[in-house]
Structure 1
Amino acid sequence: MVTSITSVAVVGAGYMGGGIAQSFALAGLPVTIADASADATQAAYERLLAESQEFEDEGLYDAGATEAIRGNLRTAASIEEAVADVDFVEEAVFESVEVKHDVLGRISAAARPDAIIGSNTSTIPARVLATAVTNPERFLTVHFSNPAPFIPGVELVPSESTDPAVVPVVRELLGKADRQGALVADVPGFVLNRLQYVLLKEAMSIAEEGIASPEDIDTVVRTTFGFRLGFFGPFAIADQAGLDVYAGGFRTFEENFGERLATPRLVQEAVENDRKGVKNGKGLTKDYTPEEVKALVAYRNKAYSEMGRLLRTLGPSPA
């Protein structure tokens, strides 16, 4: 298995695959793209360069980004040609087991035996796709989010066959492109979509019950806890609010909504062990020194102030 990735192929150069290819090319990595046909690949190449120039003109990419991408991005006439001599292949074709199996079979037959293979699937378990890959110990899900050129988080989902040594190699690759990899178990929905769908389900229930309109629910989400989520995840937010406060809130929810909103075991055990979060320096996942608490509060205040300033500058969403 390769121990450092210096060249990439992306198979499937549509909206997601193209954005992934842009990101790696912009990071200075040589990237080869291949799509369903040579004509489709060439059309995707031209679209990606035009799109990159638009991003650069709008200030979303730094000056010179398009030329950097042009210098690192190339096309191949076939999947086999694209993957023949690269360290890492990212599959980003249509979200169908049958289609992905066919493409992953072709990739693994043509790629070097030591090349790492990733899939950008957002829903299909890695163990299902791994069956199509020769030497499945080199395969894992590498799930980028939409839009790929701008969203920094990437889910890394090994199957039961994946060699654990593959994960840090892919993390290092993502770091070159200013992306952050999060290790996730191979379960349906992974983490991103499980959380995202649960939020949407509860939001829709609130609307259906007549508690608030969809517009007002969106306002609550984006201007309150959603405002924080660009800087802190739910565990960090809970630590800052106070775990004993959360435990009390969950008691109220359980009394009114039943078992589905009962106090989570992690919160209950934390409070039983006098772990209240930042207020006493003992959080869900770590302890905080007084100096760390002071620095955290200062960072939080600056982050929220800057977020508010950014939103005022951008103005409301056009839709």
Structure 2
Amino acid sequence: MISSISSVAVVGAGYMGGGIAQSFALAGLPVVIADVSAEATEAAYARLLVEAREFEEQGLYDPGAAETIRANLSTAPSIEEAVAHADFIEEAVFESVEVKHDVLGRISAAARPDAIIGSNTSTIPARVLVEAVANPERFLTVHFSNPAPFIPGVELVLSDRTDPGAVPVVRELLARADRQGALVADVPGFVLNRLQYVLLKEAMSIAEEGIASPEDIDTVVRTTFGFRLGFFGPFAIADQAGLDVYAGGFRTFEENFGERLATPALIEDAVAGDRKGVKNGRGLLRDYTPEQVKALVAYRNKAYGEMGRLLRSLGPAPA
């Protein structure tokens, strides 16, 4: 398996695949795209160049970005020709096992044996998709989020046949495109959608119970804990708030909502071991020195202040 990626092919040049292709091309990598037909591929190519110019004009891309994408992005008349010489191939076709099996079979038959193959699936387990791949040790899920040109996080999911050595190679590729890869287990929903769906379900339950309107629920999420999430994940937020505080909150929830909101073992064990988070320098994520705590608080305050200024300058989202 290849140890460094210098060229990319993206199969499926629709909204997600096209955005992924743009991201790698903007990073200076030669990218070949292919879609269901040569005509569809050429139409996607033209759309991506127009989009890149529009993003640059809107200030979403730096000056010169559209030309960088144009210089690095090309088309192939077929899937087989697109993948033949690529170091890394990203499959981004319709979210169907049958469709993906067909396309992954064609990709792995035509690609170099040492090329790494990724799938942008958001729901289908890697262990299901890998069945269609020749040399399965080079296959993994590489799940970008929508819109791909702007969302930096990427989930990496290995099947039971994936060589773990593919992970640092793909992570290095993602870093070149200013993306961050997170390794997660091969379970339904991975991490992103499991958390996203749980939040949506609870939000809908709150609305159904008449506790708040959908509009007010969205306001609470946007302006409170959601405000923090661009900078800190839930573990970091818990460390900052105080793990003993969370333990007390969970006791209240368990008394009122039962087992589904019982105190997690991670919180119970942490508090039992006198790990209270930033307040005593011993958290879930790590231990903190006084200097690190001071720097963290300063970063947090600056981040939230800058976020507030950004939101005020942008104004409310269009209805």
Equivalent position of 1:232 in the other structure: 232
Equivalent position of 2:2 in the other structure: 2
Equivalent position of 1:90 in the other structure: 90
Matched, 1:252 2:279: no
Matched, 1:207 2:202: no
Structure 1 residue 285, shift from structure 2 partner: 1.9
Letter in 2 for 1:80: E
Letter in 2 for 1:75: T
Letter in 1 for 2:107: I
- Which runs of no fewer than 5 residues in structure 2 stay unpaired? none
After TM superposition, where is structure 1 displaced by more than 3 Å over at least 4 residues in a row? none
Letter in 2 for 1:236: A
Supply the distance in 1 between the matched residues of 2:279 and 2:208 (Cα, whole angstroms): 37
Equivalent position of 2:111 in the other structure: 111
Letter in 1 for 2:106: R
Matched, 1:39 2:31: no
Equivalent position of 1:135 in the other structure: 135
Matched, 1:122 2:114: no
Supply the distance in 1 between the matched residues of 2:222 and 2:157 (Cα, whole angstroms): 29
- How many residues of Structure 1 are paired with residues of Structure 2 in the alignment? 319
Name the SS of the counterpart of 2:140 in structure 1.
strand
Q: TM-score, structure 2 length as denominator? A: 1.00
Letter in 2 for 1:21: A
Q: Note the aligned Cα RMSD (angstroms).
A: 0.3
Structure 1 residue 16, shift from structure 2 partner: 0.1
1:138-187: CA deviation from partner (whole Å, max 9, x where unpaired) = 00000000000000000000111000000000000000000000000000
Name the SS of the counterpart of 2:17 in structure 1.
helix
Supply the distance in 2 between the matched residues of 1:286 and 1:64 (Cα, whole angstroms): 41
Supply the distance in 1 between the matched residues of 2:185 and 2:74 (Cα, whole angstroms): 34
Equivalent position of 1:165 in the other structure: 165
Equivalent position of 2:155 in the other structure: 155
Supply the distance in 2 between the matched residues of 1:296 and 1:151 (Cα, whole angstroms): 24
Letter in 1 for 2:159: S
Could you tell me the percent identity over the aligned residues? 86
Matches within 5 A, 1:278-293: 278-293=278-293
Matched, 1:269 2:282: no
Supply the distance in 2 between the matched residues of 1:51 and 1:70 (Cα, whole angstroms): 11
1:38-85: CA deviation from partner (whole Å, max 9, x where unpaired) = 000000000000000000000000111111000000000000000001
Supply the distance in 2 between the matched residues of 1:140 and 1:185 (Cα, whole angstroms): 11
- Which runs of no fewer than 5 residues in structure 1 stay unpaired? none
Name the SS of the counterpart of 2:132 in structure 1.
coil
Structure 1 residue 7, shift from structure 2 partner: 0.1
Letter in 1 for 2:47: R
Equivalent position of 1:241 in the other structure: 241
1:86-122: CA deviation from partner (whole Å, max 9, x where unpaired) = 1000000000000000000000000000000000000
Equivalent position of 2:13 in the other structure: 13
